[in-house]
Amino acid sequence: MSMTREEETKLAKDMAAEFGLDSAVQEAERLREQAAQHERDAHESFERCDTDGALSQWASGLNASKDRLQADITEAGGLWVFPALFDLDGNLAPAKAVYNQFGRGWLLLDEHDRPTGRWFNESNARNDATYVRNNAKKGFYVGLVRVPAYATLKGASITSVAAVAVRRDGGWSRDAEIVDSGKAAT
C-alpha cells in the first residue's frame, strides 16, 4: 500500500533528473554534507567524553536524519508522498490524517474544508486485499498523493523523536497530485 523511504527517495531522484532540477540536487548534496557533519560531531563527542555527551550525540544524530530527509525532499522538487483518503469512485476525499495513541484516523471535512466532526478509521487488516475491502465497505480507499513538504523533528518524548516529512498544505489540498487512489488491490 505505501512506499518505503528508499522507494520514495528513488522516485524523488528520478523526478528531479527528469525535470532538470540541478539546483535542488545541489541543495540536497549540501544537506547531506550537513548531515554527515552532524554524525561526525556525534562521533567526536563520544570520543571526547564517552557517554557523558549522550544528549548532544543523540541530538546530532537526529539532526543528521532530518537533514538527510530534507535532502530527499529537496531532490524531489520539494514534494513528498503522503497517504490520502479517496471515495469509492477514486476521487480525493476532503479529509486530514490525524495521528494519536491509536494510530491514524481521518477527520472528514466539509465543502469549505472545515472539520465536520465525522471520522473514518482504517481497517487493521494485515492482508492488503482485506484491508482495501474493509475500508471500501466503510466508503473509502486510502491511497497516496504528492504534495509540497518539509522535514522536521517530531515525537511525544525523548525516546520517540524522529525525522518526519510534514505536508506544507496543513494536511489537505484539492490540488494534490494523485499517485495512487488506493483501490488497486481490490
Of the residues 77, 108, 124, the one at which a domain ends: 77
Of the residues 77, 99, 127, the one at which a domain ends: 77
Check: CB of residue 141 under 8 Å from CB of residue 90: yes
pTM for the structure as a whole: 0.73
Domain contains 186? no
What residue numbers bound the domain in which 86 lies? 80-180
Q: How many domains is the chain partitioned into structurally?
A: 2
Please check whether residues 61 and 146 belong to one and the same domain: no
Burial-class residue 99 by CB neighbours within 10 Å (0-12, 13-18, 19+): exposed
Note down pLDDT in tens along the chain; length 186 residues: 567 777 777 776 676 666 665 677 788 888 888 888 878 877 777 777 765 667 788 888 899 999 999 999 999 999 999 999 999 999 999 999 998 878 899 999 999 999 999 999 999 999 999 999 999 999 999 999 999 999 999 998 888 999 999 999 999 999 999 999 998 755
Please check whether residues 98 and 176 belong to one and the same domain: yes
Please check whether residues 121 and 41 belong to one and the same domain: no
Domain contains 63? yes
Read out DSSP for the chain? Answer: ----HHHHHHHHHHHHHHTT-HHHHHHHHHHHHHHHHHHHHHHHHHHHHGGGGHHHHHHHHHHHHHHHHHHHHHHTTTEEEEEEEE-TTSPBP-EEEEEETTEEEEEEE-TTS-EEEEEEE----SSHHHHHHHHHHTT-EEEEEEEEEEEEEE-SSTTT-EEEEEETTTT--TTPEEEE-S-TT-
